[in-house]
Amino acid sequence: MLSRVIVIKTALLIVLLGAPLLAQDSPGRKAPSVTMSPVPLEAIVLGKPGVVDLHFRVASGFHVNSNSPSEEYLIPTALKLDAPTDIVIGGITYPPGEDVSFPFAPDQKLNVYSGDITIAVLVRPLSSVLPGRYAIHGQLKYQACDNAACYPPKKLPVDFEVKVSKAPTAARKNPGQSPNVH
């Protein structure tokens, strides 16, 4: 009975000590990545602004600088878009970053994104645009780090479409209708 207890205790000790070794990550174990979810076709009315939400995911174990990093030399996450003529990118709204301390600098907080982030793009087709589907292309520049190393800046291609349609015509009153029902 006593030997059984000793075996179990020893084994549990090995498991407890071994688990952190497995969890430990060394830099370069896997490449950092930021991926973009497919964007559903956004319907936008001529002459009116519409918002397209772009969803990105920063791979687990990595972080990227926010759009307003806490230090001058850090590379911000930034979206650049090229829209067709007469479709105006009215603005890009970045989510606020999270102030996080990392093991490499526990006394310092860096403003970063990790996990899922959404960047909102304001798209405004001018009234001169013909109704139809329009592709907008661009790239998300980011620079990722993990807990022990940083990876060179990368550019992720960003592509989505918007469907521009005419403003729905207002329902007209029916003038001159006889009050009599036949």
Partner 1 sequence: MKRDPVVLIVVAMVVSLMLAFGLNKARRSKSPGAVATNKLKGQTAHDFTLQSLDGKTVRLSDFRGKAVMLNFWATWCEPCKIEMPWFVEIQKQYGPQGLQIVGVAMDDADTEDIAKFTKEMGIDYPILVGKDSVREAIANDYGGMAFLPETFLISRDGTVVEKILGLKSRSEIEDAVKKTLGPDGAVQIQPGN
Rule CB under 8 A: which residues touch partner 1? 4, 7-8, 11-12, 14-15, 18-19, 21-22, 26-31, 71, 73-75, 102, 104-105, 110, 143, 145, 148-153
Q: In the bound complex, what is the minimum distance in angstroms from residue 156's beta carbon to partner 1?
A: 17
Q: In the bound complex, what is the minimum distance in angstroms from residue 63's beta carbon to partner 1?
A: 10
With respect to partner 1, which residue has the nearer C-beta, 89 or 150? 150
Q: In the bound complex, what is the minimum distance in angstroms from residue 19's beta carbon to partner 1?
A: 8
With respect to partner 1, which residue has the nearer C-beta, 16 or 170? 16
CB burial string 1-19: b at 16+ within 10 A, e below:
eeeeeeeeeeeeeeeeeee
Reported as half-sphere exposure (CB side, CA atoms, 13 A), residue 140 has a value of: 29
Using CA atoms, how far residue 137 sits from 2, 31, 50, 52, in Å, is: 70, 25, 17, 13
Query: Are the C-beta atoms of 98 and 114 separated by less than 8 Å?
Result: yes
Q: Which two tokens stand for residue 178?
A: 């006889």
Q: Would you say how long the chain is, in residues?
A: 182
With respect to partner 1, which residue has the nearer C-beta, 126 or 149? 149
Q: In the bound complex, what is the minimum distance in angstroms from residue 67's beta carbon to partner 1?
A: 15
Helix (H, G, I), strand (E, B) or coil at 19: helix
With respect to partner 1, which residue has the nearer C-beta, 65 or 87? 65
With respect to partner 1, which residue has the nearer C-beta, 47 or 76? 76
Q: In the bound complex, what is the minimum distance in angstroms from residue 13's beta carbon to partner 1?
A: 10
Query: Are the C-beta atoms of 63 and 144 separated by less than 8 Å?
Result: yes
